[in-house]
Each structure stands twice: as C-alpha cells, then as structure tokens.
Structure 1
Amino acid sequence: MHIGVPLETHTGETRVAATPETIKKLIGQGHKVTVESGAGINASVIDSAYEAVGATIGSAREALGAELILKVVAPNDSELALINSGAVLIGMLNPFSNETIAKLAGHGITAFSLEAAPRTSRAQSLDVLSSQANIAGYKAVLLAAHYYPRFMPMLMTAAGTVKAARVLILGAGVAGLQAIATAKRLGAVIEASDVRPAVKEQIESLGAKFVDVPYETDEERECAVGVGGYARPMPTSWMQRQALAVHERAKLADIVITTALIPGRKAPVLLSAETVAQMKPGSVVIDLAAAQGGNCPLTVADHVVVEHGVTLVGHTNLAAMVAADASALYARNLLDFLKLVFTPEGQFQINLEDDIVAACLMCRDGQVVRKNG
C-alpha cells in the first residue's frame, strides 16, 4: 500500500506522524512510503534520515495523494483538497467535532481517529491521549519553572536558605501524575487533588500529599469512580466542597498545574478567578485544559497573561514543545494501530469485530459512522 506522511501545517504543530524507526518497519512489510520534504524537520528528523530507511521524499501533493495518510491532526481545507476520495486517513482527528468528521465523510475519506480508542489494556500501546498527555505533564512543570521567579528546590547557600516551591496539581490522570513525578525530581513540595479516590495511592507513591475531599452521598461516590479511565462530572455539592479545599491550598501554593479534562465537553472550572486574586504575587498557573475552555476562567488559550500578579499560561499544545519524543511516541501508537487494519500479507482491511477498530472508525464510504451529540 502507498502510505503518505505530510508536513503538518497547523499553527504551532511541530510533530510528525512517522519516524525513520516506524517507516523502516512499514517498508519492511512491503509498503511504499512517501514523506513530504521537511515533514520531520521540526521534530529533529531530516529528510535524509527518512531516505536512509527507504522512504521517498516528495511534495505535499504526493504525500497527501497516497492511499493511506498518516497525520497528527485533522487536515485543513487546503490539505483536504489534495486527498483523493477513497483514501484512508489516520490521526488525531478530534472525534468530538461533528463538523470535522462530516467534512471528511463528504470528501469520501475513510477516517480513523485514535483519540476514540477504548481505554483498555489491549489498546494501551496505541493510546495517543496517554502518550501525549504524559509529555504535556512533564512540559507543564518545566514551563512553571520557567515562569516562576524563584527556585523550585530548597537550596542552602552561603547567602541563606531558599525554601522549596509549593506545587498544587489538580487532576491526577496521566498528565497530572507525570507532573507530580517531574516536580518531585525538581525538589518541589507537592499536593495533588482528583475526584477519583483510586488515584490517592498513586499520588502518594510519587511523593505528593493527597488533598482529600470526603464524599457524603452515594451519588458522589458513583461519579468519582469515573468511566473508561476518565472522571465524570461531579455533583454540585461535592464541587463546592472541593472548590473550598482548592481555594485554601492554592492560596499557599507557588505553582498550580490544572489538568482536568472531560472528553467532548467544556473543561470544569477548578480554579476560580476569586482564588487567583488571593494567590501570592509571582505565583504561576499552568492550565492544561486551555484548549477546552480552561480549568481557570482567567486563562487565555495560547497566551500567557498576568492577573492579580499571577502568571497564567494557556498553551494548548504542550506536546508539540517536545516534538522529537512526542513524534516518536505518537508514531509508535500509529504503527500499533496499523497492525489492526493490515493483514499479515499487508492488505488493508476494516474488521468491525475488533472493538478498537470499530471505536476509532469515524466515517466510511461517504457516511459518518460515529456522531456525537
């Protein structure tokens, strides 16, 4: 099969959907691969590295004109115009955007969105949300250290002792746990909160203190368990108690990292404007939910703003700031998914009996297969 890997043209997107490592394996399976010239340059992969493993370097038209196209994000209109009807597209296509999926279907594309993969043990190797969130959690701490005007670790110097930074992490999914681990390595004192009681042990095992908000009703306990690895919206009564606990901890914190996301929905507000107003001058907030409205209403997507003396960082694509490793992990996710849609002889097939393939299939033969809302 002819596989194309185009240069990502979305603003700020530095990742690439395939690396020499994964392309070598695809070519070894008998596929032809065309990589657009410069596709990997922002991820520290030059054209000659692709050529060395057998890929052909071509134009955008040649890469997007392939039978199967590997992308990081959904194609824009100019990219879509170069994709042939009947082609197969695989990437992070935003399965919760009915408009995007309808546009792909209208163009006659068979599209798979890997964000829709079930959160099961079998799907772990192709879980793009986890692989990229892990990087985002790491980068969030480094960004916090960059904007925080003091040291992160405690230092004892001839000029006196510097106290360790106090870090509060809201949400202990993949990104939050990586943020805890990274902040711990940098010597910070860490507290973390999450609606799911099961993560308390994970938080404490990484060296952070769990901010506990007790559950008072069966409804609160049921929602806290979550679905498919994600938290569910909590009842108002619990959210009010958590807001009070977060408010008190945030006032003492030097850095707050918020990571709470609910797929397909606006991000929950975890850090109120009133709380930010009472935080210490020079404090930093890294809002990983900025792309979905933010966990703080003062966050501005893709901007760094200062409110009440607090720096709020709203970058929406932190994984792209670690492009080389983000691309390497993402490319392996794609490679593992391709194993499910290729036969041992290298023929493309859609096996709807496979729960992962069925969940990721967005559109086929001009028809939307999955629709939200």
Structure 2
Amino acid sequence: MIIGILKEPKEESRVAMLPEAVKTLLSWGAEVQVEQAAGNTAFATDPSYQEVGASIKSREELLSQADILIGIQPLSPLEIAKTKSGAVLMGQMNALYDSQLRDYLIAEKKTAFSMELVPRTTRAQSMDVLSSMATVTGYKAVLMAADLLPRFFPMFMTAAGSITPSRVLILGAGVAGLQAIATARRLGASVFAFDVRQAAKEEVLSLGAKFVDVEGATEDKDAGGYAVEQSEEFLQRQKDTIHEHALKADVIITTAQIPGRKAPLLVEERTVRAMKPGAVVIDLAASSGGNCALSQPDQTVEVNGVRIVGVGNLAASMPQDASKMYGKNYLNFLKLIIKDGNLHLNFEDDIVTGTCVCHEGKAISPRIIQIQNT
C-alpha cells in the first residue's frame, strides 16, 4: 500500500506529516511517497524524508500511484480526477460547507475523509485536528495582539512610575479561547472570559481569568462541546454585557463558532466605536462570518483608533509545531483504517463513519447525510 503526502498550496505553510510521522507509517509496513518540496515551508527538507525511508515523487506520480493521499487543504476536482480508482483522499475538505466538492466526490464514487468531521468525543480527542490547530491559533492570537497593542501586557514597577496591566477579554472558552487565556495570563494581562457554556466556567477560573456570566444560556449536551444557537432575549443580554466589558478592554479576542452555521455576532459596531483608541480586536471567526461586526477575513480594519484583525489560517503561521501536531492526529486516525499494512475501512466504528464524507457513491458521515436531507 502506498501512502502519499501532498505538498500544500503556496498560501499554506504546513505539511500533513513531518519525517518523524512518516517514519511511524513506514514501521506499519506501508510505502510512503512524499511530494517534492512538500515540507520545505515547515522546515522539513526532501533529504530529511528520504533519511527515514520515504521516496520523493512529483505531484503527478503521487496522484496516479497513491492508495491513500494525505494533505491539509483539499484537492481540486481536476486533480481528484487524476487519482487512481479506489484511492482514499484525506484532508480538511470543509465538507459541511463546500457542497460543490462534496457532491463531486459522491458523484465520482470517491472515498474521502474530512478531518474537521472527527467527532468531538473522548476517544477521538487524539485525532481532532480542529482542537490541535485551535491551540496554535489561541496562542498566536495573543502574541499578535501584544505586538499590535501600544502598551505593555504585564504590570511594571518602574522608575518612571507604575504601568497597570492590560485588560484582555476572551469571547469563547473552547480550545482556542482557553489557550488564549493561558497565554495572556503568562504575559501578565488581567483576563476576562465569556462563554455561553457554564461547563467552561471552571476551566476559565482555573487558568486565573475571571468569568463573565450571562444568565439564561441554552446548552446542548449533544453538541460535542460546541456552543449552540441562543434565544434573541439572551443574545441581547449577551451583547449588552460584552459591550460593558469591551469599553474597559485593551484587547478582545473572539473565538466563538457554531459548526455548519455563520459565526455568532458578539461585538457590535456600536461597541467597537465606543472602545478605547489603541485597543485591538482579533477575530478568529472572521472566515465564517466573524464575531465582530466590522471584521473582514484576512484584513486589518481601523475604526476610531481601534484595530480589528480578521484572522484566517493563523495555524499556518507556526508551521513546524502545527505540522507536528497535525501529523500526530493523522497517525492516530490512520491506526483505525490501516491493519497489517493494508487498508481496512470499518464503518461500524463511529469515528471512521463520522469522519468519512463518502464511500462508493454514498454519503457516510451522519452530519453530511443530515445536510443532504435538509
């Protein structure tokens, strides 16, 4: 069985697997082919892959020969058409949103796994690329904010007087939010955090932040740890509370997203316009609609001296460790579908089923089937 590691598009600096992960694949009895220069932007050279036993191939060779093709960004339909019959395609295919690619994969009877569909369960944690990459984005978002902020994060006692700590407001206490809290606290900021899930309160407090409470939130134990849609009454209370805290904040980092839906609006235009000049908003949900009313994907907007940064693929700004984490997630998932060096798809396994977009012309993931039926 041949496993191919693809080179990502030029805007993506990560690679799906570093040489250390490839070495593990080889120990399973698989042959591994790596596209030429695939790891260069993640500081993994072709010779480093060859040293562990992989072979370097052109893209055309990989597409035509590999039994399993592994990447991060999805292939185009044109390239999918060049893959061998029965090949398994793996990556982050944005399968819940990209109906054109999803329908093409089904029509062409391809077998495809979309890693953002990995279930949010305890057993699947080690395979969850969204959580791994959220760790990177939460960390980098704080460093980005600290770089843009015209003042210090920590409190300083100096000969020129005392410098008070910056006040940071984190909206959403999932993986990215918690990492942002931890990083901001390490830098010495005074941190406040909001989340509609009361279960997040204990984690927020344990990291040394203060929890911003808004009563009356709707919670769903079956939402896999994500927030769910809220009533209009609660949303207005939420916006008013965030508005009050935003007026005192030097930095706001927003991380709230709902799978399959537009990101909830948390920071209104009136709030941005009332914030302190020099304040910074980092919107990690900009690519899915934005938590801030004025954010634009991959752009920095300035309003009344407040800078709003719409973050896109922030994980790619730390390609070495991000690739290491991504590769480990892949290895843990591949253990489920590779047995004795051969492909073995067990669709009775809830993780395999939940992550599989389609197989033999049929949608497999319950979330994909649900979208088809709506």
TM-score range, shorter chain: over 0.9
Q: Which residue in 2 is equivalent to 1:262?
A: 258
Structure 1 residue 85, shift from structure 2 partner? 3.4
Q: Does residue 304 of structure 2 align to residue 311 of structure 1?
A: no
Taking the aligned partners of 2:99 and 2:259, their CA distance within structure 1 comes to 14
Letter in 1 for 2:105: L
Taking the aligned partners of 1:223 and 1:27, their CA distance within structure 2 comes to 44
1:80-229 to structure 2, matched below 5 A, reads 80-96=80-96, 97-215=98-216, 220=217, 222-223=218-219, 227-229=223-225
Taking the aligned partners of 1:138 and 1:364, their CA distance within structure 2 comes to 37
The answer (yes or no) to whether the contact 1:36–1:57 under 8 Å persists in 2 is yes
1:355-366 to structure 2, matched below 5 A, reads 355-366=350-361
Q: Which stretches in structure 2 are left out of the alignment for 5+ residues?
A: none
Q: Which residue in 1 is equivalent to 2:286?
A: 290
Structure 1 residue 146, shift from structure 2 partner? 1.3
Task: Kindly provide the CA deviation profile for residues 34-92 of structure 1, in whole angstroms up to 9, marking residues without a partner as x.
Answer: 11111111111111110110000111112223111001121124533432332101121
Taking the aligned partners of 2:251 and 2:31, their CA distance within structure 1 comes to 48
Task: Kindly provide the CA deviation profile for residues 185-229 of structure 1, in whole angstroms up to 9, marking residues without a partner as x.
Answer: 0010000000011111110110100011122xxxx4x43656211
Taking the aligned partners of 2:225 and 2:263, their CA distance within structure 1 comes to 16
Task: Kindly provide the CA deviation profile for residues 110-151 of structure 1, in whole angstroms up to 9, marking residues without a partner as x.
Answer: 101121121111101101111111111001101101111111
For the residue of structure 1 that corresponds to 2:34, the secondary structure is strand
Number of aligned positions between the proteins: 366
Q: Which residue in 2 is equivalent to 1:279?
A: 275
Letter in 2 for 1:87: A
Q: Which stretches in structure 1 are left out of the alignment for 5+ residues?
A: none
What's the TM-score, normalizing by structure 1? 0.95
For the residue of structure 2 that corresponds to 1:252, the secondary structure is coil
Q: Which residue in 2 is equivalent to 1:58?
A: 57
The answer (yes or no) to whether the contact 1:196–1:225 under 8 Å persists in 2 is no
For the residue of structure 1 that corresponds to 2:344, the secondary structure is coil
Q: Does residue 68 of structure 2 align to residue 68 of structure 1?
A: yes
Taking the aligned partners of 1:119 and 1:286, their CA distance within structure 2 comes to 25
- Tell me: CA distance 1:360–1:224, structure 2 relative to 1, closer, same or farther (3 Å): closer
Taking the aligned partners of 2:186 and 2:23, their CA distance within structure 1 comes to 35
Q: Which residue in 2 is equivalent to 1:18?
A: 17
Aligned-residue identity in percent: 50
Letter in 2 for 1:3: I
Letter in 2 for 1:301: P
Taking the aligned partners of 1:211 and 1:270, their CA distance within structure 2 comes to 13
Taking the aligned partners of 1:17 and 1:151, their CA distance within structure 2 comes to 36
For the residue of structure 2 that corresponds to 1:73, the secondary structure is coil
Q: Which residue in 1 is equivalent to 2:247?
A: 251
Q: Does residue 35 of structure 2 align to residue 36 of structure 1?
A: yes
For the residue of structure 2 that corresponds to 1:57, the secondary structure is strand
Taking the aligned partners of 1:116 and 1:77, their CA distance within structure 2 comes to 20
Task: Kindly provide the CA deviation profile for residues 242-285 of structure 1, in whole angstroms up to 9, marking residues without a partner as x.
Answer: 11110000010000000000001000000001100000001000
The answer (yes or no) to whether the contact 1:42–1:323 under 8 Å persists in 2 is yes
